[in-house]
Homo-oligomer: A and B are copies of this chain.
Amino acid sequence: MTTPVKGYAAHSPTGRLGLFAFDRRSPRADDVVIEILYCGVCHSDLHNVRNDWGNAQYPMVPGHEIIGRVIDVGPEVTRFKAGDRVGVGCLVDSCRHCGACGKGWEQYCENGATYTYNGTDPVDGTRTQGGYSEKVVVAEHFVLKVPDALDLAGAAPLLCAGITLYSPLRHWGVQPGSRVAIVGLGGLGHMGLKLAKAMGAEVTLFSRSPGKEADARRLGADRIVISTAPAQMAGVAGQFDLIVDTVPYAHDVNPYVPTLATGGTMVMVGYLGPLEGFNSGPLVFSRRALAGSLIGGIAETQEMLDFCGQHGITSDIEVVRIQDINEAYERLLNADVKYRFVIDMASLKDEVRA
C-alpha cells in the first residue's frame, strides 16, 4: 500500500524540474513518516539532475537536506513520535551488518548504502525519491533529531553540507589550537569555517577572490589567503595540520600541499575525478597525505547536530519557493548564493491547491 504525494522532479538531464505526483510507501514497522518542512539545495542535486555522474534515473525528485515533523511512526519505532522535529540526510538505508556499518560508517557501507534519492530501496526494489516533496518515509535508524535551539530552515543544510565538513574535521582530530584551512567559500566552505572555529581551531580560508574577506571573517576565519598569489601561499608554507578542499570542480591542488605541516592531511570533499599533474614529491618530503571524505555516518551526524545545537550553528541560507527551483539552479551554477538555498516546502501547498 502506498500514499500519493506531490513533489518536483527532473525528467531528463537537460530538462527543468516540474511538478510530479508519485507514491510513498506505507510505513513499515520501523519507519518514520515525516512531513517535509524545508529541504536544502545541494550542489550534488545539480550533478545528479544533469547526470554528471552517469547514473541518473528519471523521473528524479532531488533533495537530501530534509527537515520535517514526524506525522506517523511504525509499531517498532521507539525513538520518535508524532510532532518531533527531525532531519534526514543523504542516506536512508545501508546493509547494517558489514564492517563499515558496524563501525557507524554507513556512508561507506561495503554493500552499498541507499541514497535518499536516485537510489534503490533494498527491501522492495523501488526507486528512492528525495526531499523536494510533501513527505518522506524513512527507517528510524536513519532519522536524526533536530535540537530545539536550531532554526529549522537554517538546519536543513547541516544534513549534507554540515556533516560533510564535520566528519573530516573530527576524524582528523581537530581540537583547540589545530591549524585548519578551508579551500573555497561556498555551501560547504562556509560550514567549514563555522565548525572549525567552534572546535577551537585557528582557521584560514583559501580563496581565489579578495572580495570575500569580510564575510569569511564573520563566518569564523582568522585569516584569508589568496590562493592565486604566490607570495601569500609561500607565507603559509608548512602551516596547516588539516586542509579541507570543498571546491566542486577540477582544479590544481598542488599549490596547497606545501602549506601542510609535516604529517598534515589535505582532504577532498567536493571534487571527484582526475587531479591532473598531482605531484607526489611534497607528500614524500613531509609525510603528508591527500585523502577523501564522504558525508558522515548516522551517529556522527546526530553528534554534529547536537554540536551545532550547543554552539548555535546553522547554515547561512536564502529561502526559496519550490516554484523558483529552476532559477535557483541557474544561480547555483553561477555561485550566486550566500551560502545555501533552502526550499520552504510550504510553497508546494499552492501547487496542490491549484
| Alpha-carbon distance A105/B286, docked complex (angstroms) | 10
Q: Is A311 close to B, CB under 8 A?
A: no
| Alpha-carbon distance A77/B110, docked complex (angstroms) | 56
| Copies of this protein, total | 2
Contact with B along A254-279 (1 / 0, CB 8 A): 00000000110100110111111111
Q: Is A287 close to B, CB under 8 A?
A: yes
Interface residue from B262, B268, B274, B285 paired with A284 (Cβ < 8 Å): B268
Contact B276 A284 (CB under 8 A): no
A100: chain B residues within 8 A (beta carbon): 262
Interface residues of A in 108-159 (CB under 8 A from B): 108, 110
CB distance from A102 to the nearest CB of B (A): 11
Q: Is A288 close to B, CB under 8 A?
A: yes
A290: chain B residues within 8 A (beta carbon): 280, 283, 289-291
Nearest residue (CB) in B for A254 is B274
Contact B287 A289 (CB under 8 A): no
Q: How large is the interface on A (under 10, 10 to 19, 20 to 34, 35 or more residues)?
A: 35 or more
Contact A287 B293 (CB under 8 A): yes
Q: Is A171 close to B, CB under 8 A?
A: yes
A200: chain B residues within 8 A (beta carbon): none
Nearest residue (CB) in B for A171 is B287
**Contact A272 B281, CB 8 Å, known A108-B286, A291-B288:** yes
**Contact A274 B279, CB 8 Å, known A108-B262, A110-B262:** yes
A59: chain B residues within 8 A (beta carbon): none
Q: Is A238 close to B, CB under 8 A?
A: yes
Contact A283 B291 (CB under 8 A): yes
A285: chain B residues within 8 A (beta carbon): 108, 272, 292, 294
Contact B284 A280 (CB under 8 A): no
Contact A294 B287 (CB under 8 A): yes
| Alpha-carbon distance A268/B110, docked complex (angstroms) | 26
A265: chain B residues within 8 A (beta carbon): 289
| Alpha-carbon distance A269/B281, docked complex (angstroms) | 10
CB distance from A256 to the nearest CB of B (A): 13
Contact A277 B274 (CB under 8 A): yes
A281: chain B residues within 8 A (beta carbon): 272-273, 292
Nearest residue (CB) in B for A274 is B277
| Alpha-carbon distance A285/B100, docked complex (angstroms) | 12
Q: 3 closest pairs, A vs B, by CB?
A: A283-B292, A284-B292, A289-B291
Ordered by A's residue number, 20 sampled pairs between the chains whose C-beta atoms are within 8 Å are: A99-B262, A105-B287, A108-B262, A108-B263, A110-B262, A268-B280, A268-B284, A269-B284, A272-B280, A273-B280, A275-B279, A280-B292, A281-B292, A283-B290, A284-B292, A285-B294, A287-B292, A288-B292, A289-B290, A290-B291
